[in-house]
Amino acid sequence: MKRYGMVIDTLKCIGCGDCVVACKTENKVPEGLCRDWIVEEVKGEYPHLQMEYRSERCNHCLHPLCVYACPTGASHIKKGTNITLVHPELCTGCKACIAACPYDARFVMPQGYVSKCTFCDHRLEKGQLPACVSVCPTHCMYFGDLNDPLSEVSQLLKRRKWKVLAPEAGTKPQVYYLT
Amino acid sequence: MYREGEKPWKIVGNSQDLYSHGRLCTRGTGGLGAYLDENRLKVPLIRTQKRGKQVFQEVSWQTALDFIAEKMELIRKKYGAHSLALFSHGIGGTWFKTLVKAYGSRNITAPSYAQCRGPREEAFKLTFGRGLGSPENTDIENTRCLVLIGSHIGENLHNGQVQEFAKAQERGATIITVDPRFSVAASKSKYWLPIRPSTDLALLLSWMHVLIYDELYDKKYVEKYTIGFQELKKFVKKFTPEWAYPITSLEPNLIRQTAREMAKHAPSVLVHPSRHTTWYGDDTQRCRAVAILNALLGSWGRKGGFYFPRKAHVPKYPIPKFPKPLKTWRDYLAPGQFPFASLPPANLLRDLSLPKEGKPAPIQGWLVYATNLPLTLPQPEKTYQALQNLELVVAVDILPTAITGWADVVLPECTYLERYDDLRISPGREAQVALRMPAFPPKYQSKPGWWIAKMLAKKLGLEKYFPWRDIEEYLDYRLKKIGSSLKEMKRIGVKTLPSNSPLYLPEEGDFSFPRPSGKIELYCKDLAAFGFDPLPSYTPHPEPPEGYFRLLYGRTPAHTFSRTINNPLLHELMPENEVWIHPQVARRFGIRKGEYVRLKNLDGVVSLPVKVKITERIRPDSVFMAHGFGQMQKQLTRAYGKGANDNGLMSRVAVDPIMGGTGFRVNFVTLERRSS
């Protein structure tokens, strides 16, 4: 069993959106939609400020509420991994998964089915990194198997302070943010 | 370039390229959008009505080029060949520079000089004997302390600089950022100095004071390599951090602490020279202060400071000597005007195109390659005035922009994905040569720049300056001279040539800097000889009047100014700019989140409606927006009317008397709510 995780160093991220564009071209995401996006969070008052940029996407949760909510089995977990995917042909576009996702990671394609980040599953199969990770000019994104204690991502989570988004949702998200 | 079947899919960087290491920037990753943009110029156009009316007729290349050649001949006969000016930006301009020099004019420039990098280049030349060039010889990757003053690396997504910035950060380098705005770089800094805009020189002088009077400077380096230290020491005596405090609003302790931090890491410290440096009109002097500060820290020619770049030597394709022009832009300068300008300020060529006292203007024709002058030059009303008085305006571009709307002839160039350009032979840590080659045949009737220039040369009887059959022969000739070939380069894209010139100063022995004294000139006699301050003095600049704010502007990683603004992929990432205002200002004007306002400057110029970003990241005395938006060209269906054009509000400029740079940050604006 592989537990794929993405680790994003917010201290290095500059919010440039390269990951967004790379994802859009790699996955041919239609105009007006995106599978990843940038969040700017500012705390404090001038000049005592702190800022964090985050590249956000589907968290490929270990407890995927989206998959649980899907009435047709279109949303599913890829065998042997934690990657959640959608079978377009099984999806009726009922949006139950969209309502269930605490990360607002899903959207409806013009064709009527739901789509979202796949961790570039098609690239992983070829031994490549997700498009967003491979393009990042600051190298702030890391990807690997968190079940492998020697992987770069496991080592980073051991060494550095990190957080996940909406931990209270109990979804066990697998996108980690180094802070 | 990857395709799926015949369809273009994506662009991925070349891992051997020292500028990208296989990771393109946002614009590079989205480059396909430029090719796909359906708003592109498709066929050559000739204007059929009054300039500015934008009524054009589609014509053949033959007709368009004949028209231009005829007009160029007329200008040559009537006013002299030197009356033609070329404005160009980017590597594609090479061919047009050759054409215009062959024709007999040296009035060739780029707004990237007097509207951007010029002051920095001249200041570093006057101090160290060489400018920074592009990309800069800044050793960010190896630095232990990076000082950014007016440089917004991160938002300014110069790929190499950003990659090195991230590496420096990862290695735990101390980052000190001076910026009135809480920039991305500021958010990643150990020290952020939220300086009052326009007072940077005061801070730089007080840093020098601390380094010298606390004896923190690199004594050995200063003694061995510099001249004028005693004059400098005397000069900065009074510029204590306490002196700088009321000017800059920065606490004396913070100034001292940051100076010490720099000294602690010296010489592995880099006070970044920044890039866009035309701010307040005393910009060469401010950049001189940056240069001097680096000299005190001993960082020029040291690891983690500035390296000596390597550059490939690739022989040129032999062409005849260019004719000597009858006159150049320098002949029109007053005695002592801009004595250190190494290029003509683009706004000067513009101003020379305005008729004066009924006499014909010295410049009568414009050839404009890939630069959108109405959105680039300050005081756009003068640009429009000039455009109405010229004999000939030719625009070579990819998109219909403000400048193509004013042209007599519009020549559609193909995008960089559809053409060869000259070799990229830029400086770096290695001597590298890179090839740009077409991934697709040109769309529509667009043509590559080399073809356009060569054809035009032929019509003008100047074909001997383009003696090669086609670009492939030209490139192959040059590449064979360095032991490669076009065939090889088409396969590998970039090639690193052996080079062992030292990157840093030698540990032992002498070194001569390319200055008259052979030394780093802290005190600059050349400046004194022209009546300028030989050491940089601080002069206060006007503050915004009540109810007005200083208009600050900068870059955004999603766009390369107006060039990418209509690119479908990048437009989606950032369709409009926002004006940043402090929450106090929002309260005072009763402005709500996401509301659209107009900006009005002191001369009554009003912007398009622009969305408000209420943020703590900006000082209450300033507003900020990204440059390049507010396009008024209707043919740009995505970008049209989105956001505000900061350049339209640049009614005033503070001109740098040393090299002619146009300081932009002297414009103040107030906010007008939409309903009012």
pLDDT digits (tens, 9 = 90+) for B92-104: 999 999 999 999 9
Nearest CA-CA distance, residue A46 and chain B, Å: 5
Q: Is the CB of residue B17 less than 8 Å from the CB of residue B493?
A: yes
Nearest CA-CA distance, residue A132 and chain B, Å: 10
Asked whether residue B419 carries a pLDDT value surpassing 70, the answer given is yes
Phi, psi of B317 (to 5 degrees): -75, 125
For residue B431, the surrounding DSSP H or E stretch is strand B431-434
Strand B578-581 and strand B365-369: pairing? Answer: unpaired
Nearest Cβ partner of B569 from A21, A47, A140? Answer: A21
**Which distant-in-sequence residues (6+ apart) come within 8 Å of B509 by Cβ?**
none
Is residue B484 located within the same domain as residue B592?
no
> What phi-psi label fits residue B594: left (phi over 0), alpha (psi between -120 and 50 degrees) or beta?
left
Closest CA to B426 of B16, B79, B91: B91
Which CATH number goes with the domain that contains B329?
3.40.50.740
Strand partners, B610: B597
pLDDT in tens, B264-278: 999 999 999 999 999
Asked whether residue B566 carries a pLDDT value surpassing 90, the answer given is yes
Phi, psi of B600 (to 5 degrees): -125, 130
First-to-final CA distance of chain B: 50
Is residue B440 located within the same domain as residue B576?
no
Percent of chain A with pLDDT over 70: 100
First-to-final CA distance of chain A: 28
Mean pLDDT of B521-544: 97
In a domain, B638, yes or no: yes
Nearest Cβ partner of A137 from B11, B163, B574? Answer: B163
Closest CA to B607 of B557, B652, B637, B650: B650
Asked whether residue A125 carries a pLDDT value surpassing 50, the answer given is yes
Q: Is the CB of residue B29 less than 8 Å from the CB of residue A25?
A: yes
Is residue B655 located within the same domain as residue B590?
yes
Instruction: Give the burial string for B266-283 (b: 16+ CB within 10 Å, else e).
Output: bbbbbbbbbbbbbbbbbb
pLDDT in tens, B475-501: 999 999 999 999 999 999 999 999 999
Of B15-19, B328-332, B358-362, where does mean pLDDT reach its minimum? B358-362
pLDDT in tens, B202-236: 999 999 999 999 999 999 999 999 999 999 999 99
Of B19-23, B658-662, B670-674, where does mean pLDDT reach its minimum? B670-674
| B320 vs A119: CA distance, rounded Å | 57
| Residue B672, both tokens | 């007008």
Q: Do B26 and A42 touch (CB under 8 A)?
A: no
In a domain, B272, yes or no: yes
> Tokens 């491979």 label which residue?
A134
- Judge whether B192 is closer than 8 Å to chain A, CB to CB: yes
| Domain encompassing residue B263 | 116-309+506-529
Q: Do B166 and A32 touch (CB under 8 A)?
A: no
- Cis-peptide into B135, omega within 30 deg: yes
Q: Do B166 and A46 touch (CB under 8 A)?
A: no
Angle between helices B241-248 and B252-265 (to 10 degrees): 120
Asked whether residue B111 carries a pLDDT value surpassing 90, the answer given is yes
**Which distant-in-sequence residues (6+ apart) come within 8 Å of B450 by Cβ?**
B95, B419, B420, B421, B422, B471, B474
Is residue B232 located within the same domain as residue B337?
no
Alpha helices by DSSP H, listed for B494-645, are: 525-529, 568-573, 583-589
- Judge whether A145 is closer than 8 Å to chain B, CB to CB: no
Classify burial at A169, counting beta carbons within 10 Å of its beta carbon; exposed 0-12, middle 13-18, buried 19 or more: middle
Asked whether residue B392 carries a pLDDT value surpassing 70, the answer given is yes
Mean pLDDT of B153-171: 97
In a domain, B368, yes or no: yes
Is residue B516 located within the same domain as residue B601?
no
Q: Is the CB of residue A5 less than 8 Å from the CB of residue A153?
A: yes
Contact list, B582 vs chain A (CB under 8 Å): 46
Nearest Cβ partner of B617 from A11, A49, A137? Answer: A49
In a domain, B319, yes or no: no
Q: What interface predicted TM-score (ipTM) does this complex get?
A: 0.96
Looking at the structure of chain B, the number of domains it has is 3
Q: What is the CATH number of domain A4-178?
A: 3.30.70.20
| B98 vs B71: CA distance, rounded Å | 18
- Judge whether B619 is closer than 8 Å to chain A, CB to CB: yes
**Which distant-in-sequence residues (6+ apart) come within 8 Å of B184 by Cβ?**
A14, A15, A51, A53, B152, B153, B154, B155
Is residue B270 located within the same domain as residue B348?
no
Q: Which of B11, B195, B248, B572 to mutate to test the interface with A (most CBs of A within 10 A)?
A: B572
Is residue B392 located within the same domain as residue B420?
yes
Q: Tell me how crowded residue B468 is: count the other CB atoms within 10 A of its CB.
A: 16
> Which residue in B has a C-alpha nearest to residue A131's C-alpha?
B12
- Judge whether A88 is closer than 8 Å to chain B, CB to CB: no
Is residue B443 located within the same domain as residue B524?
no
Q: Is the CB of residue B250 less than 8 Å from the CB of residue B210?
A: no
Amino acid at B200: D
Closest CA to B279 of B179, B358, B156, B210: B179
Is residue B352 located within the same domain as residue B369?
yes
pLDDT value of position B675: 63
Asked whether residue B144 carries a pLDDT value surpassing 80, the answer given is yes
Contact list, A107 vs chain B (CB under 8 Å): none
Q: Do A135 and B23 touch (CB under 8 A)?
A: yes
| A81 vs A68: CA distance, rounded Å | 16
Cα B179 versus chain centre, distance: 19
Nearest CA-CA distance, residue B593 and chain A, Å: 15
Contact list, A142 vs chain B (CB under 8 Å): none
Instruction: Give the burial string for B352-377 (b: 16+ CB within 10 Å, else e).
Output: bbbeeeeeebbbbbbbbbbbbbbbbb
pLDDT in tens, A44-90: 999 999 999 999 999 999 999 999 999 999 999 999 999 999 999 99
Contact list, A24 vs chain B (CB under 8 Å): 569, 572
pLDDT value of position B676: 46
pLDDT in tens, B397-417: 999 999 999 999 999 999 999
Is residue B292 located within the same domain as residue B200?
yes
- Judge whether A161 is closer than 8 Å to chain B, CB to CB: no
- Judge whether A32 is closer than 8 Å to chain B, CB to CB: yes
| A16 vs B257: CA distance, rounded Å | 31
Closest CA to B644 of B631, B656, B635, B657: B631
Is residue B449 located within the same domain as residue B510?
no
**Which distant-in-sequence residues (6+ apart) come within 8 Å of B179 by Cβ?**
B148, B149, B150, B152, B185, B186, B192, B193, B194, B195
Cα B365 versus chain centre, distance: 24
Which CATH number goes with the domain that contains B219?
3.40.228.10
| B217 vs B294: CA distance, rounded Å | 10
**Average pLDDT taken over every residue of chain B:** 97
E-strand stretches of B70-224: 84-88, 108-109, 145-149, 174-178, 191-193
Is residue B123 located within the same domain as residue B236?
yes
